[in-house]
Structure formats: structure tokens, C-alpha cells
Structure 1
């Protein structure tokens, strides 16, 4: 299925003529991985000719399924369901229909205020990497409407549709493995996992570090209790922290807590997953499969890309340790 011209129709309650708007509605995300569960956040920068926004509607296109919207305090949330053009396999359950439109209504987003409207869903496995998903927007307020519906890709038009680039990733590697670009997100229960990577190693180096970001969107705490990979004889969850004036590393024998409603970053110089007794060097440009085990959410196998030793991966500063942590 070709998704080059696939669109998500986003109806925003901003209600002004396109030519009068000084800033476009845009998406927080710039990329989404084919086959991945991803969060879509629509950014509403202003109202309409001084009027408040009262309604935001998002139409869901073919190829984007299993949609769940995020409620907002002070806004009524409604959904419309309908059949899909093709069925989807959602964790072993065939989905032939689902949410096709989401509407937030009854709010009052003043012209001078900013807000975001969020949902999450899954990009179909047959989507084409390198194509764009366009998000045409119809903005309406009490006394007017305007649309952002131009899907030509031109930045010279007055009403460009918000868009997102589809990238390769989340492809089935066998045994539930998921290949993810550094800025993509996969959902496991209430957990959102993003940006996995491992650092390249030197010849004969026995250990390496693995990193990612984990967000717990649920109401209950969880714990990363174990990890395993064919690339190493064993794996441990570690923490690096200052002990007086000395930076020390220790294994978290009880696992790494992922508190409800919080984000935990595994990054160089902090929490990380340690590859112990490597089977061979990790070379830049390669990838390695890692299974993460959580106390409540269960297991997920990710494919971690191997990046240069001096690359931070999450946008933070790269460390200089010889062990790749």
C-alpha cells in the first residue's frame, strides 16, 4: 500500500481565514516508523482573529489504526468508528474497524494561549518508508473556518498541511524484534520506549553500553528487571553515580524503577544496560537485538542500532569512557 498521498485530516477549532493566520498548526513529531505505535501531537499556536478555539477534530486515515486519543481537562472527548479498508493484526487480534475520527469540543483556548492535542496509533506495516503523511487541518471558531489542506509538499503555499516523514523501522526481525530509528517510539502496555542505541566498541573490548528512554504513561510503577542479548554472555542493568569525588558504577540488583507518570533516561554517564562478555565487537552501522524484561509490562525485543563511540544518541553529551558507557 502506498502512503505517499495518505492524509490524516485534522480539524482544529481556530476559526480564521488561511490568509489571516500568522503561524501554522504543526506536529511535534517529525518522523514516524513504519509499523510503529507512535504519538501524534498537534500544536495549536493561536486562536482565530482574536477568537478562542472551541473544537479540535482529527480524522484518521487508512493505514493508521488502533487509535487512542488523550483526554483533556475541560474538553469533551468523542470518537467516531468505522471499517478499515484492510484488516490489521493488533497483537494477535484482527482489527477490521476502529476509531476514524477524534473530536475535542467545549473548550476555550484563547487566542493568546497555546495548547496540544494528542493521540496515538500504529502506522500500517505496508506503509512506504520515505513518503509523507500529511495532516490537512480545518480550523474553526465561533465566526469562521479555515483549512490547512495543501498536501503538495510545497512550503510556498499559504495553507500547507502539517506532515510527518515515514522512516524504515519497526520491521519484524523475527521473535518480536523491533527495529527503531533513534527518535521513534514503541509502546509496551503503559510503557513508551524510544531512542534505543548501543555504542561501538574497540577490538577485544569485553563490555558495551546500551541506552534508551522509557516513559511510564500509566498509574502504576513498573521496573526494568532484566535484559538479554545474543551479543553478550549476560546483561545487567547498571547505574553510574558520584560517590564523594569518585564516579562509580554498580549493578541495580533489584532492577531500575520506572515510576508511574515519569520518564527515565538510560544515557551515557547514568543508567544503562551493560553488555557483559561480548561475543564480538559492536561495529558502527551494525545493530544488535536486545530483549528487555519488565516486572509488569512483560517483554519486548528491540533492535538497537550501533552508533559511533562519541555519539550521545539522545542528544546529550557523549562520554569518553573506554568501556562505551
Structure 2
């Protein structure tokens, strides 16, 4: 009887520990992507995009961040907000196809923006702000493919198309959803789902990570409590 009870205690503790680890891993994955915030902007307008870069390594610092501007939809005006401790390099190129702008034709557009010289330590993040416009018209989304370099010479490319967000790839590129100029928000269940994905993005991402982490901790504590109860009961019965 004692051996049987002890076996149950060990099994319960193992399951609780594995569940805790799994949930903690999900929390880390949910908060580790390089993202563009806010998630939406108006077609043809100007906006400020903040590229949030978290360090997802526990043994290296992020030392360089490169953002590729959408070459298929060049943006005429781009300016960068200084980030203390970081140097910024803005590279321009001639668009692959003619782009009409107010007063003529766009002859040069920003192709890449690179921040270097600073450090993002384990468990930290940094935000790099870029003002840009006019944003493209006639398209509903643009991607900003990114490269994140670490002090151990590792380079992580965030360049995969995130699609509609339902089946997210391993390394999704930061994206910006473009809405028609002057379009009023739609109503109904579908719009509520869209709004939940786009509005309050910062709070949602951080809240999801905290929720999953908290669930993992709670399950772990519950597992320990169940194990202790089982052990005490086995002792009484013996």
C-alpha cells in the first residue's frame, strides 16, 4: 500500500513539473518575436512605427538590429528617432520601379535601417521608432523583414510571412496592416475579433505571457500540494 501511494505521488509530481515547463515555454515564445507597433495604419498617411526587439537568449546580448523597408512598396519619407547608446545607419536605393509622389517621381527610398553599438541583455527589450509616409495605397499590408544579431555571432532572421496570424511561422516578419483612408471600423463579431488582434497589442502580448507563466506556476504549486497530500495520506495509512 505504501509503495502504491508513493508511486502515485511521484507520477503526480512529474506531470506537474512537465506541465509547468511546457507553459513556461509557451509564455516565452509568445513574447519573443520582433514586432511592429501599432499593428495598423491608414493607407496613404504618415505614421510612427515602433519596432520592439526582445532578447530571446539567456547567454548573449543583442548587438545589432536591421530592418528592411518594403522594396515592393517604397516609402518616400523616413526619419529615425535616436536611441541612447545606439548608432543608426540609413541606406537608400533607387526604387526598382517608378513611384509617383507629390511634385514628381521618387528617385531614392530607404531600403534598410541598422542600429548597432548598443546592447539588449537577457530578459530585456528595446524599441526603435521610425516615422514614415506616405504609406502605400492599394495594399492591405506591408512587411518589415528584420535581422537580429547577437554577441555570440548568431543572426536571427525574422523574415517569414505571418499570414493571417492563425498559423504563425517560427520567425514571422514584423508587419503593418493598412486600412483604407477614412474607413470606419466594421461592426459585428468579425470586427471584434480583428480589433482584439490589433488594438492594445502591447498589453495583449505582455498579458498573454504573464497569464501563461502564471498558469504554469499555479499548476506546479498544485502538483506539489497534491504530491504532499498523497504522501501524508500514505503515511497515515501505513
Q: TM-score range by the shorter chain?
A: 0.5 to 0.7
Offset, 1:28: 1.5
| Structure (1 or 2) with the greater strand fraction | 1
1:32 aligns with 2:41: yes
Structural mapping, 1:166-177, within 5 Å: 166-169=178-181
The answer for the alignment partner of 1:147 in structure 2 is: 157
| Whole-angstrom distance in 1 between the partners of 2:70 and 2:150 | 24
Q: Deviations over 1:235-288 (max 9, x none)?
A: xxxxxxxxxxxxxxxxxxxxxxxxxxxxxxxxxxxxxxxxxxxxxxxxxx9xxx
1:70 aligns with 2:81: yes
Offset, 1:181: 6.3
In structure 2, the gaps of 5 or more residues are 1-27, 188-199, 201-238
Higher Cα radius of gyration: 2
Higher RCO, 1 vs 2 (CA within 8 Å, ≥6 residues apart): 2
Offset, 1:93: 5.4
Say whether the 8 Å CA contact 1:34–1:167 is kept in structure 2.
yes
- Of the three residues 88, 98, 101, the one matched with 1:89 is 101
SS in 2 for 1:56: strand
| Whole-angstrom distance in 2 between the partners of 1:50 and 1:138 | 18
| Whole-angstrom distance in 2 between the partners of 1:181 and 1:96 | 34
Offset, 1:125: 4.6
| Whole-angstrom distance in 2 between the partners of 1:49 and 1:32 | 34
| Structure (1 or 2) with the greater helix fraction | 2
The answer for the alignment partner of 1:220 in structure 2 is: none
CA gap of 1:86–1:114, structure 2 versus 1, over 3 A, is same
CA gap of 1:56–1:118, structure 2 versus 1, over 3 A, is same
| Whole-angstrom distance in 2 between the partners of 1:41 and 1:64 | 18
Say whether the 8 Å CA contact 1:64–1:121 is kept in structure 2.
no
| Whole-angstrom distance in 2 between the partners of 1:43 and 1:120 | 14
State TM-score, norm by structure 1.
Answer: 0.42
- Of the three residues 54, 57, 60, the one matched with 1:51 is 60
CA gap of 1:49–1:81, structure 2 versus 1, over 3 A, is same
- How many residues end up aligned between the 2 structures? 153
In structure 1, the gaps of 5 or more residues are 1-20, 170-178, 183-284, 286-314, 316-325
